[in-house]
Amino acid sequence: MSTIKSFTDTSAVSLAYALDGAANASEVTATALTYLPFTQEGFQLSKDSQMSAAIRGDRRQSGSKNTKGTASGSAGLEFGVTPFISDMLQAAMMSEWVTHAIDVNQSFIADGETKQFFLIEKRVRNVVNGTLTNFFERYYGNLANEVSIEMGGSDLVSMSVNTMAVFGDITKAAADIDADAGGLATTYAAPQDYEIADASNNVKKATLYDAAGVALPVTFSTITLSITNNVREQEAVGSEFAGGMGMGKVNAQVSGTIYYYDDSILDAHLLNKYVSAEIVIETAEGEFTIYLPKAKAEAPNANAGGENQDYTQTLTLNGEAGEVGFDGTQYACVVAIKRVLKP
């Protein structure tokens, strides 16, 4: 038998998820998990290291202990009109999709106050001592702390999701006979095929409006939407990881770089005027329309950096409480998204 080791490649790493509010393995009700196609991930289980402060008389440390645990992570995704993106947007909005009363292909979500917990299972597969083995890290009670969608130039539209979880654990199992051995689910579903959006062909609109609803002459070279929920772990005596999960105010922000045309943005900033934003991303499967109904511009910055360059202006819009209408109802929100699926 060969003693040569084969170390793991990143292609042996997978992420699977379910919208499940379990706080540990015994509470999991989801029988199926969906694989999450990712470009990078940053999931990690760790514990705080505490050193003993005892004085021995010989200058040496007498001991240490790993104490409170932290379970957190991140995933980079390629954006499109597909169910797993809709689920991540639901997690970001702390709310649920509302379907149009007549047209079931239309749905809407506005930021809310209902925590959207989900489960993440990270699997690493490798052959150890001749046995194909699954190594699992499980993250329970995840909340989306920050979600951002980035659009720029000819790049693919990307989405990043940063999470904090209430609990995490690890396990492993031989996978020579059962490829899913040791997993939390009985079945694992591959994500649907979908068109990956790019900033050139699929971002159909990125428009700013003044308070009267008149479009401002703004053209973006790059644009980012960020939604932050100010999630926090709630430490508690007797809890190995977090005792609970809290969240604060929702912050929504549109930022980016625009080509200079006139002083519309500087005027809005200096005169304390409200603006709104509308971004439409359309693919073969449908479209998302993102609304920031009421926002203020931070100090825009435009400087000539050298010769033979475009004169551009940095822009940051901070969302405030406003309203967006859908299916005859006005929804109070800082940010809202409409989804239209193509039959």
pLDDT 10s digits, 266-314: 999 999 999 999 999 999 999 999 999 999 998 788 888 789 888 899 9
Token couple for 230: 């100010």
Tokens 């926090």 -> residue: 232
1 has a pLDDT exceeding 60: no
Mean pLDDT score across all residues of the chain: 95
Mean pLDDT of 322-334: 98
- Closest of 80, 90, 79 to residue 17, by C-alpha: 90
Burial letters 121-156, b for 16+ CB under 10 A, else e: bbbebbeeeeeebbbbbbbbbbbbbbbbbbbbeeeb
- Whether residue 339 contacts residue 287, with contact meaning beta carbons closer than 8 Å, is answered with yes
Mean pLDDT of 181-191: 95
Tokens 């500087």 -> residue: 266
pLDDT given at position 29? 94
3-state SS, one letter per residue, for the chain: CCCCCCCCCHHHEEEEEECCCCCCHHHCCCCEEEECCCCEECCEEEEEEEECCCCCCCCCCCCEEEEEEEEEEEEEEECCCCHHHHHHHHHHHCCCCEECCCCCCEEEEECCCCCCCEEEEEEEEEEECCEEEEEEEEEEEEEEEEEEEEEECCCECEEEEEEEECEEEEEEEECCCCCCCCCCCCEEECCCCCCCCECCCCEEEEEEEECCCCECCCEEEEEEEEEECCEEEECCCCCCCCCEEEECCCEEEEEEEEECCCCHHHHHHHCCCCEEEEEEEEECCEEEEEEEEEEEECCCECCCCCCCCCCEEEEEEEECCEEEEECCEEEEECCEEEEEECC
- Closest of 19, 184, 188 to residue 115, by C-alpha: 19
239 has a pLDDT exceeding 90: yes
Which of 2-16, 89-103, 137-151 has the least mean pLDDT? Answer: 2-16
- Closest of 316, 340, 314, 335 to residue 324, by C-alpha: 335
pTM score, whole prediction: 0.94
Mean pLDDT of 225-253: 95
Mean pLDDT of 241-265: 94
Report pLDDT digits (tens) over 95-114: 999 999 999 999 999 999 99
Report pLDDT digits (tens) over 82-93: 999 999 999 999
